[in-house]
Amino acid sequence: MIQPDENQIASRSYLIWEKEGRPDGRALDHWLQAKFELEAEAANGGKPKRARAAAPRKPNGTTGTRKAKARPV
């Protein structure tokens, strides 16, 4: 696997920092997240890993899927 270089990690880390509102004291977290993302992309043929959308939830915690009701014949 190809390892990202420090410039790539620094650039991605900066973007993550900005996206999170420029918080103080999270430099190592951002650096490691950037490195992980870039390594995952390299392993995936250079394509960013797509985030999966969570199923929408109702207030009672269910996903909202309905079961078919039995109908009289």
The domain ranges of the chain are 6-43
pLDDT score, position 2: 74
3-class SS of residue 64: coil
Query: For residues 71 and 73, what is the distance between their CA atoms, to the nearest angstrom?
Result: 6
Which of 33, 37, 38 has the alpha carbon at shortest distance from 23? 33
pLDDT score, position 57: 65
pTM of the model: 0.61
The 10s digit of each residue's pLDDT in 11-58 is 999 999 999 999 999 999 999 999 999 999 998 877 766 655 555 666
